[in-house]
Amino acid sequence: MRITVLGAGLAGLSAAEELVRRGHEVTVLEKDPSYGGLAATVKMDGFEYDLGPHRFHTSNGNILDFVKELPGIELLELNRISRIRLLDRYFDYPLAFSNVLSTMPLHKGIGMMFSFLWESIRGLFAPREQESFEGWVLSRFGRGLYDLYLAPYNEKLWGIKPSQLSADWASQRITVPSLAGLIKETIAPSKETVRSLVSTFHYPRGGIGEICHGLAARVTESGGCILLSTKPTGLHKTGDGWRIDFENGHIFSEKIINTIPVNEYTKLLGDILPAKVHRAALDLKFRALVFLTVMLDSDVTPADHWIYTSEDRYLFNRLSISRNFDPDVPAQVVFEFSCETNDRIWNMSRDELLKATVPGAEHLGLFSAHMVVGAHLTRREHAYPIYDLTYARNTSMVLDALDKIPDSVTCGRQGLFRYNNMDHSIEMGKYAAFEILGEASVKSHFDWDENTWSDG
* CATH architecture entry for 2-36+60-67+204-280+389-453: 3-Layer(bba) Sandwich (3.50)
CA dist., res. 99 & res. 186, Å (int): 9
The pLDDT tens digits for 30-74 are 999 999 999 999 998 889 999 999 999 998 999 999 999 999 999
The pLDDT tens digits for 398-427 are 999 999 999 999 999 999 999 889 999 999
Q: How does residue 194 score in pLDDT terms, banded at 50, 70 and 90?
A: low
Domain boundaries, the chain: 2-36+60-67+204-280+389-453, 82-194, 286-385
Indicate if the pLDDT at residue 160 is higher than 50.
yes
Indicate if the pLDDT at residue 327 is higher than 80.
yes
Q: How does residue 455 score in pLDDT terms, banded at 50, 70 and 90?
A: low
Q: What is the pLDDT of residue 192?
A: 60
pTM of structure: 0.94
Q: What is the pLDDT of residue 94?
A: 83
Q: What is 286-385's CATH topology?
A: Polyamine Oxidase; Chain A, domain 2 (3.90.660)
Q: Is 159 left (phi over 0), alpha (psi -120 to 50) or beta?
A: left
CA dist., res. 310 & res. 292, Å (int): 17
Q: How does residue 451 score in pLDDT terms, banded at 50, 70 and 90?
A: low
Indicate if the pLDDT at residue 9 is higher than 60.
yes
Indicate if the pLDDT at residue 175 is higher than 80.
no
Q: For the beta carbon of residue 203, count every other beta carbon within 10 angstroms.
A: 24
Q: Residue length, the chain?
A: 456
Q: What is the pLDDT of residue 373?
A: 97
DSSP H or E run through 404:
none
Average pLDDT, the chain: 92
CA dist., res. 41 & res. 209, Å (int): 5
Cβ atoms of residues 268 and 419 within 8 Å: no
CA dist., res. 36 & res. 38, Å (int): 6
The pLDDT tens digits for 254-281 are 999 999 999 999 999 999 999 999 999 9
Q: For the beta carbon of residue 176, count every other beta carbon within 10 angstroms.
A: 22
Cβ atoms of residues 289 and 269 within 8 Å: no
The pLDDT tens digits for 117-158 are 999 999 899 999 999 999 999 999 999 999 999 999 999 999
Q: What is the pLDDT of residue 180?
A: 80
Among 417, 420, 421, 414, which residue's Cα sits nearest to residue 392?
A: 417
The pLDDT tens digits for 209-239 are 999 999 999 999 999 999 999 999 999 999 8
